[in-house]
Every structure is written in C-alpha cells, then in structure tokens.
C-alpha cells in the first residue's frame, strides 16, 4: 500500500472518530445504567439487614453508600486504580464501578448520559474541556507521566530518535489522537515541530487505547509504540526509550467530581482517599508514576482557618456549605488581623489565613508564600441615621466635642489602614484629639454607634452592611489608602494543602461572589 493511500485511510479514520466515540460512549452509558439498576435492587431496603465493618475505627455505611460510585477512568491508570479500588472497598465498603476507555470517549459518555460520579482522564487537558462543558466540580491532582517509545527488551531495533521510528524496518503503533490522551499530545507536540505528518504516514496502526499499543509491542505485531512510561510497569518484557522529540509530552493526571453525582460527599471521600499521599498516591508511586503532593489521609479531616473579623458575614455560608459537601470540619478563628498575626508569630499557625489587608499577609509571608486576592473593602465614616452632625469628610471629624471611634492600629488591619488614611488626608493630629475609643474589630464600633456612645466611627463599608436601618455611611473620597485588599493563602506546612486550596476556590467561586457583594465588598477574585 502506498503512503498516500495509507494516509488517506487514516484521514478517513479521523473523520469517523467522533461518531465512533459517541457510539462507544453510548455503550458505556448502557453498561452503567444496567449495573446501577442491579446495584439498587441488591441494596437492602430501609430497615433491613445492614453490614458493618469488623475492623476498629471503621464507620458503618448506610444502604445508599453500598450503591457503586461510577468512575470514568483512562486505561493508562487502570493498574493503580484497581489497587486503590481493592484498598478502598475493603476499608469502607463502598463499591466502585469503573468504566475504562480512551479519555475522549469517557468524556463523551459523561456528557451524553449526565450520570456518573468521577472522571479520571489520562491528562488534565480533558478536565479543561470538561469544565468548559460544565461537567465537573472539584478537581484534585494525582500524578505525572512521561511519553516514551515502548520497545522489546534490549531495544533490538536500536531506536533512540524520532528518525529511527521512520525507518522502513520499524513498525510503529500509536493510540488514536481523536480519543486517547497520548495520541492527542503526541500529535500536538510533533505538529508544532513539523514532524507529525511524517510519523503519522509511517504509523502502521492506530489503536483505541494505550494498553492495545503496549500489547502490540509485547506480541511483536509492531516494533515500537508511543505510550506513557508508567504503563510499562505492567509490561516487564518491554523497555522504555526516551527520545528528544517527545521530551515535552507529559501527562498531568487529575481526578474530578462530576456535577452529575448524586452523592458528592461520598464521591469526595473516595477522591480524597485516591489523592492522599499515604493512600492512593502511595499506590501511584508503586506503579511507576510521579505522584503529586497530596494531603495526609483522614476520613473526616479538620483544618483551621484564621480570618479577619470583618470577613465573617461574607464567608460563613460558603464555609458551612463546603463542610457539608466535603464531609470535613473547618475550625474558624475570627479576630483582628493584628491579633491573629501575633498568634501566628508565636507559633499558632493555621492551615489557611484570610487577611483583612495585604499588609497583614505580608507580615507572615514566610508562612503563607502564595496569597490570592479575593476582595476589597473601603473605609467609610459611620454616622447615625440622618447624619445629625453634618459630617461629610475627614476634616469634619475634627469638629469640637465630637466623639470618634476607630480601629486599634496594632490589633487590626482596619486600625492600621485608618492611621494611614488620616496621614494621607492631613488631619491625623486633629482627628486623634477626638478619638475616644480604639477597638480590635469594626463590629465593636458599630455596636457603640448603635448605643449612642459615639458620634462617628471610621470602619469598613462591610461593617455597616447589617446596620443600614440605624447608620449611614459617608465615603472617604480621593484617598488611595482608604481601600483594603483581602488575600487568602494556604500554609506551607499544612497537612491538608489540597483541602484548603479547595476551600479557597469555594471562597473565590461565583456563588461566594454574590455573598461578598451583599456584604459591601468589591470583588477581585476569580471572574
């Protein structure tokens, strides 16, 4: 057969790849539905006999938890996922129904069926597509793989470069780039370097999965196959050859919870197990993968969050929803950021820190190296409803016999920012003569304004959000120092960095954005 005819045949294969993927996805969906119906009929009815674990520390599972979790999983991860499946099912009793296949076919199955709990493709580029299609929620990193050329033990054809794969005496197998991650990545990398067409024309066979490529090399149907290095863990008769042209072809493996799951807490329980450094990731390492930096396993993790007091109204509902979905506990410590920073410098370091202003994050940057800005808040002058003293600017706070309250400079970001604002406005000395109280939180100032013990207070706009019936807010205009930015960061020493990262993403989510807006904050987080 001529090269042109072979190329034409492969082009026709590519043109039908999408319908074939949809057909395979439909078959996967049918299998899932049948298995789920069988699982439901096998589950004991309410009030029936329940199964409990004999091992100490195991939690009895409800009948619903004995229904299988459906995981769409790339074939390249099969060996390690099967090992984790055995561990998890033995420990917790929740069965896993795993559908193996090419990443693209699995994605199509999830999209067509609107069923399933988890998606684990061979490369996280498919999770980008899944997010674009609104199919996935949480995502956890797992491991990495490197593209290599699989050859018979001892490399009898002496293959060391891409040019060797193009020799007449070398038969090559690849995974179809229309369905498998390794094929897609190889095509993308070699197209960029101008080498794809030559390899594509010389390829003897395109296979559906990476395992089929490895099997063809194993039985001698071909002399070489392009696949991921970790796959060769299960093929002791094959060697891996790293060629320069594929050095950039690396897979970053992650697992995601599908939006179609009906049991997000149970799905996340397994995902956290799979991504734990002492559970699933240990199995990944055993099977030749390069595991990510995961959390330590805990059936119900507990993390601590320090946050400025003024952030509490904006984040409480988000944190509560996060706890319920994840099945975890978040211990919150709210206080003035000056007080929180002092506690951290004394050795009490939380897993996460949400500061009222960047300055107080900078003071503990050695503990929290990668902060992310979430929101902004502005200082305002709080006055009684109707503004009886006619206060319209900072200068008006210098009026005689005026009782003014501000935040404590050393105890909270608000107080520190207030002093800078007074300096910028040029009225610090005069205003401080009227200051009768300095508090660690803006809420205390609001309470004193409500009680009538203050005529005015400088606090955050968010502090006034819940007191609109009693107080008015006078904006401090044209002063840059009057705006505070609130960053969130994960402790570099947290035992659960992935969990706290997900908490941060929840706080930076679209639903959270609405809560911040209601409380008077300006949003600067994820758009």
> Do 197 and 218 belong to one domain?
yes
Assign 27 a pLDDT band (cuts: 50, 70, 90).
low
Q: How confident is the model at residue 4 (pLDDT cuts 50, 70, 90)?
A: very low
Let me know if residue 464 belongs to a domain.
yes
Report the pLDDT value the prediction gives residue 483, as an integer from 0 to 100. Answer: 86
Q: Is residue 55 part of a domain?
A: no
d(CA 226, CA 159): 12
Does residue 296 register a pLDDT over 50? yes
**pLDDT of residue 174 exceeding 50:** yes
pLDDT tens digits, one per residue of 366-378 = 999 999 999 999 8
Claim to verify: residue 361 and residue 218 sit in the same structural domain = no
Contact call for residues 217 and 148 (beta carbons, < 8 A): no
Q: Which segment of 7-11, 148-152, 523-527 scores lowest on mean pLDDT?
A: 7-11
Q: Do 132 and 201 reside in the same domain of the chain?
A: no
Any domain includes 280: yes
- Which residue, among 131, 117, 141, has the nearest Cα to 510 in the 3D structure? 131
Q: What is the CATH number of the domain that holds 513?
A: 3.40.190.290
Which pLDDT score is estimated for 44?
35
How far, CA to CA in Å, does 51 sit from each of 42, 48, 63, 265? 13, 10, 9, 20
Percentage of the chain beyond pLDDT 70 is 87
Tokens representing 77 are 């991860």
Question: SS3 letters for 121-134?
Answer: CCCCHHHHHHHHCC
Helix 497-507 to helix 312-326 angle (10° resolution) is 130
Indicate the pTM of the whole model: 0.78
Binning pLDDT at 50, 70 and 90, where does residue 60 land? very low
Residue 209: give its domain's CATH number.
Answer: 3.40.190.10
How far is it, in rounded angstroms, from Cα 458 to Cα 402? 13
Domain end marker among 291, 320, 354: 291
Average pLDDT on 174-186 reads: 93
Over range 180-191, report the average pLDDT: 94
Average pLDDT over residues 483-502: 96
Whether 260 has a pLDDT exceeding 70, the answer reads: yes
pLDDT of residue 105: 94
pLDDT above 60: residue 9: no
Q: Is residue 124 part of a domain?
A: yes
Query: Do residues 281 and 345 both lie within one domain?
Result: no
Residue range 332-353: mean pLDDT, rounded: 96
Residue 57 belongs to some domain of the structure: no
Domain count, the chain: 3
Q: Render 283-327 in DSSP notation, one character per residue.
A: HHHHTT-EE---BPP-SS-EEEEEEEGGGHHHHHHHHHHHHHHHT
Average pLDDT rounded to a whole number, residues 106-123:
96
Q: SS3 of 509, please?
A: coil
pLDDT beyond 80 at 297: yes
Instruction: Return the minimum-mean-pLDDT range out of 9-13, 34-38, 455-459.
Output: 9-13
Question: What is the per-residue pLDDT for 11?
Answer: 40
Instruction: Name which of 132, 66, 137, 120 is nearest 95 in CA terms.
Output: 66
Q: Does residue 391 have a pLDDT over 50?
A: yes
* Domain shared by 491 and 518, yes or no: yes
Instruction: Provide the residue range defining the domain that includes 244.
Output: 145-250
What mean pLDDT do residues 429-434 have?
95
The pLDDT value recorded for residue 64 is 60
Which of 291, 322, 351 is a domain's end point?
A: 291
CA distance linking residue 509 with residue 421, whole number of Å: 31
Assess whether 410 and 450 both reside in one domain.
Answer: yes
What pLDDT, on a 0 to 100 scale, did the predictor assign at position 525?
72
User: Which has more confidence, 191 or 60?
Assistant: 191
- Provide the pLDDT confidence category of residue 463 given band limits of 50, 70 and 90: confident
**What is the pLDDT at residue 14?**
41
Q: Are the CB atoms for 116 and 96 separated by under 8 Å?
A: no
Looking at the structure, do residues 285 and 346 belong to the same domain, yes or no? no
For 43-158, where are the alpha helices, taking DSSP H only? 78-92, 103-113, 125-132
Return the pLDDT at 392: 94
pLDDT at 13 over 80: no
Look at 36-40, 315-319, 516-520, 523-527 and tell me which has the smallest mean pLDDT: 36-40
Q: Does 347 lie in the same domain as 266?
A: no
User: Residue 48 domain-assigned?
Assistant: no
Predicted pLDDT at 50: 28
Are residues 111 and 194 part of one domain?
A: no
- The mean pLDDT value for 436-449 works out to 93
Does the pLDDT value for residue 20 go beyond 60? Answer: no
Q: How confident is the model at residue 39 (pLDDT cuts 50, 70, 90)?
A: very low
Say if residue 389's pLDDT is above 90. yes
Mean pLDDT of 232-249: 94
- 262 and 246, same structural domain? no
Q: Are residues 8 and 22 in the same domain?
A: yes
Map residue 163 onto helix, strand or coil: helix
- Supply the pLDDT for residue 520: 87
Task: State the DSSP H helix or E strand holding residue 215, giving kind and residue range, or none if neither.
Answer: helix 210-219
Q: Do both 131 and 269 map to the same domain?
A: yes
Determine, yes or no, domain membership for 50: no
Q: What is the mean pLDDT of the chain?
A: 88
Q: What's the pLDDT at 31? A: 57
* Spatial separation of the C-alpha atoms in residues 151 and 386, rounded to whole Å: 83
Q: Does some domain include residue 56? A: no
Give the pLDDT confidence score for residue 204 in this predicted structure: 96
With a pLDDT cut of 90, the percent of the chain lying above it is 77
């Amino acid at each position: 057969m001529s090269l042109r005819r072979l190329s034409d045949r492969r082009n026709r294969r590519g043109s039908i790849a999408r319908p074939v993927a949809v057909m395979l996805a439909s078959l996967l969906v049918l299998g899932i539905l049948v298995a789920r119906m069988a699982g439901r009929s096998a589950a004991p009815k309410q009030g029936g006999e329940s199964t409990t674990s004999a091992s100490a520390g195991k939690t009895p599972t409800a009948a619903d938890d004995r229904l299988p979790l459906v995981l769409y999983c790339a074939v390249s991860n099969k060996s390690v996922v099967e090992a984790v499946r055995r561990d998890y099912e033995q420990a917790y009793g929740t069965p896993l129904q795993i559908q193996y296949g090419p990443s693209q076919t699995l994605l199509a199955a999830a999209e067509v069926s609107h069923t399933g709990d988890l998606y684990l493709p061979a490369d996280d580029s498919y999770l980008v597509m899944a997010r674009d299609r609104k199919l996935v929620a949480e995502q956890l990193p797992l491991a990495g793989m490197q593209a290599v050329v699989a050859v018979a033990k001892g490399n009898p054809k002496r293959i060391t470069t891409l040019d060797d794969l193009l020799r007449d005496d070398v038969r090559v197998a690849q995974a179809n780039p229309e369905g498998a991650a390794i094929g897609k990545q190889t095509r993308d990398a070699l197209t960029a370097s101008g080498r794809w067409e030559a390899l594509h024309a010389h390829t003897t066979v395109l296979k559906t999965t990476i395992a089929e490529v490895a099997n063809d090399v194993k039985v001698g149907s071909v002399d070489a196959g392009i696949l991921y290095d970790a796959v060769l863990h299960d093929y002791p008769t094959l060697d891996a050859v790293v060629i320069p042209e594929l050095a950039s072809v690396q897979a970053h493996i992650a697992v995601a919870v599908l939006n179609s799951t009906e049991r997000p807490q149970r799905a996340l329980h397994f995902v956290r197990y799979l991504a734990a450094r002492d559970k699933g990731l240990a199995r990944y390492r055993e099977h030749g993968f390069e595991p990510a930096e995961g959390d330590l396993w805990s059936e119900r993790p507990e993390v601590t969050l320090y946050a400025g007091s003024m952030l509490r109204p904006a984040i409480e509902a988000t944190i509560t929803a996060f706890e319920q979905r994840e099945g975890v506990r978040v211990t919150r410590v709210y206080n003035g950021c000056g007080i929180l920073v002092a506690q951290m410098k004394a050795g009490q370091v939380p897993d996460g820190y949400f500061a009222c202003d960047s300055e107080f994050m900078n003071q503990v940057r050695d503990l929290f190296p990668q902060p992310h800005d979430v929101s902004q808040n502005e200082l305002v002058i709080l006055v009684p409803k109707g503004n009886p003293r006619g206060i319209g600017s900072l200068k008006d706070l210098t009026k005689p016999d005026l009782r003014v309250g501000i935040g404590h400079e050393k105890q909270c970001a608000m107080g520190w920012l207030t002093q800078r604002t007074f300096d910028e406005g040029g009225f610090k000395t005069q205003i401080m003569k009227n200051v009768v109280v300095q508090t660690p939180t803006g809420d205390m100032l609001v309470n004193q304004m409500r009680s009538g013990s203050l005529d005015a207070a400088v606090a955050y706009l968010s502090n006034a959000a819940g007191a609109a019936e009693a107080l008015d807010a006078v904006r401090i205009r044209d002063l840059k120092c009057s705006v505070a930015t609130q960053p969130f960061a994960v402790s570099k020493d947290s035992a659960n960095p992935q969990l706290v990262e997900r908490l941060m993403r929840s706080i930076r989510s679209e639903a959270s954005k609405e809560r911040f807006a209601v409380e008077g904050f300006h949003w600067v987080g994820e758009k």
